[in-house]
Structure 1
Amino acid sequence: MSASTTTVYEVEGMTCGHCVSSVDTEVRGISSVTDVDVDLPTGRLTVTSNGPVDDARVRAAVEEAGYAVKVG
């Protein structure tokens, strides 16, 4: 059984509750993800998953929602 992993990302471009909902829905669609917390004021996306999270899949999910993961 894999240990639970939590990873924090910074999302650019979110301005409202709909933005938060869109990112949340897309990231929850990743099979290994068990919990998602999107904080609008800070732009932080916290992803909890079973085992290591696939950064490329999270980035793709955020982009599908119409936003970008901040690099650096």
Structure 2
Amino acid sequence: MTIFTVKGMSCGHCVKTITHAIKTLDPAASVAIDLASGRVEIDSSKPESDLVAAINALDYLVIPA
């Protein structure tokens, strides 16, 4: 399980966009997002650096927890 704080999320569309990016990278990934706190939990076999890159590519700021 990888946990990040993601800055810049403001709505359900943001949640869907990040979830889609992670699922594109790893279709078997499990993604849980708490929009209010900015917390993103990802259970994936992909390296953390790939997950960060996928979210950063969407212009969100990722802060490892």
What's the TM-score, normalizing by structure 2? 0.82
Which structure has more relative contact order (CA 8 Å, sep 6+)? It is 2
Per-residue deviation at 1:31? 2.7
Greater percentage in helix: 2
In structure 1, list runs of 5 or more residues that go unmatched: 1-5
Aligned mate of 1:10, from 1, 5, 11: 5
Which amino acid is 2:10 matched to? T
In structure 2, list runs of 5 or more residues that go unmatched: none
Does the 8 A contact of 2:3 with 2:64 survive in 1? no
Aligned-pair Cα RMSD in Å = 1.9
Aligned residues: 65
Per-residue deviation at 1:33? 4.7
